[in-house]
Chain A
Amino acid sequence: MAEVKLFGNWGSPFSRRVEVALKLKGVEYEFIDEDVYNYKSPLLLKYNPVHKKVPVLVHNGKPICESLVILEYVDETWEKGPSLLPKDPYERALVRFWTKFLDEKCVPTLWKTCWSIGEEQEKAKEESTELLNILEGTLSDKKFFGGDSIGMVDIVANFISYWFIILQELAGLQVLTKEKFPKLGAWIDDYLNCNIIKENLPPKDKLTAYFRARFEAAAAATAK
């Protein structure tokens, strides 16, 4: 019986964050792909009764839910390998501030930008641009948010580097471009070039096809 199990989903950026963290730490785990939109397995419901979502890490039979909580748990539990968070409390506070910013502000706003229409979309686009400007400023002259190598903030920012790029193209938008955000553009290239990241992304054509189908379904629903 595997000591470490991860209930996740092939296309979920939240799930992929945890996979990257486990791989960085050299932790062996069993991956259980949950088809969350269509069916939630009894085990998932048992391990995450509150939210019924992935990812859920189960370590020695004990579940941990919420990707940011899981990342901190992974960092504390497996001390071998690179640290996901710095050791200094102030530096850790900065990491937590930015991961919260990414999860609570950036991801929902960027997501909404792609799925909304008309005035709502215009407003979301403006907000997205403001948020991306803040991130651009935070990167400053660093290669990664974590400095010379990727850290927890980079892992949590995964959505921006890959999922959002695919979504904005499907939505016919150009919110995040290298011209508007040179530092973020460079960060995306460097980030996706890291072996640990590029080997743990959902296949581009599969993800694109999946999102395209959802766009078409959404368009059909509003057309009625």
Chain B
Amino acid sequence: MEEIKLLGAWPSPYSYRIIWALKLKGLNYEYIEEDLSNKSDMLLQHNPVHKKIPVLIHDGRSIAESTVILEYIEETWPQNPLLPSDSHEKAIARFWMKFVEDKEQEKAVEEAKQQLKIVEEHGLGDKKFFCGNNIGLTDIAFGWMAVWNDVIEETVGVKIMEANDFPRLHAWVKNFKEHPVLKDNLPDRNEMLAYYMHKRDILLART
């Protein structure tokens, strides 16, 4: 019987990407919470290059980097496909997965809004999810936008993704959160808010 372990850390969006993929595939796994301030030998052994979570360990072999893990899950367990079968559509899905990885470096508000506009118009368009009617890896990669974004906005006190400016993204957020599998696997909003507020307070106390 195959053994799947996930090394993660609450409330990391990268960790949740893997949880969502495993749940959508209907897979059983053991979740191991890592204390990132005191990294375990297991983590250091299984991700010696980056020493980061998430790490998937499947039958003793480890895979690191969330988008790499997502592709591995998709290829190893083909049920409930999370990528289109058409090569060109698959390439577009991967393009947007890469976009959101690069995008996370945006700090300035105006730049962030521009990037969101690009996603709204070119990435999502009129589709329900990034690749059509069914949820896929690209939606999972953008998951932070559905779940973390408004918590961060509230913590920081700056609203970037206004519903009026980004109606399609807001519709996508709603569809994401209401997805039958994902809705029971979202981090608790109040707990997240407390977590990020606390981090913000520590940061402010230092400056």
| A interface, CB within 8 angstroms of B | 49-50, 59, 62, 64-66, 68-70, 72-73, 76-77, 89-90, 92-93, 96-97, 100-101, 104, 134
Contacts and interface: CB of A to CB of B under 8 A. Distances in A.
B69 A73 contact: no
Interface string B86-128: 0110111011001101000000000000000010001000000
Interface stretch (B70-78, B147-155, B174-182, B188-196): B70-78
A64 B95 contact: yes
Contacts of A50: 99, 118, 122
A64 B91 contact: yes
Given A49-B122, A50-B122, A90 B91 contact: no
A128 to B, nearest CB: 15
A100 B65 CA distance: 9
A51 B122 CA distance: 11
A207 B58 CA distance: 45
Contacts of B98: 66, 68-69
Contacts of A70: 91
A76 B93 CA distance: 15
Contacts of B87: 73, 76-77
B95 A93 contact: no
A93 B68 contact: yes
Contacts of A69: 91, 94-95, 98
A100 B68 contact: yes
Contacts of A64: 88, 91-92, 95
B96 to A, nearest CB: 9
Contact of A73 (B71, B76, B91, B101): B91
Interface residues of B, number: 25
B49 A93 contact: no
B194 to A, nearest CB: 32
Question: Which 3 A-B residue pairs are closest in the complex by CB-CB distance?
Answer: A89-B75, A93-B72, A64-B91
Given A68-B98, A89-B76, A92-B75, A100 B67 contact: yes
Kindly name the residue among B68, B91, B122 whose own CB sees the greatest number of chain A CB atoms within 10 A. Answer: B91
Contacts of A93: 63, 68-69, 71-72
Nearest to A76: B87
B68 A72 contact: no
B206 interface: no
7 contacts: A49-B122, A66-B94, A69-B94, A92-B71, A93-B72, A97-B64, A104-B101
Contact of A59 (B58, B69, B88): B88
Given A49-B122, A96-B71, A90 B63 contact: yes
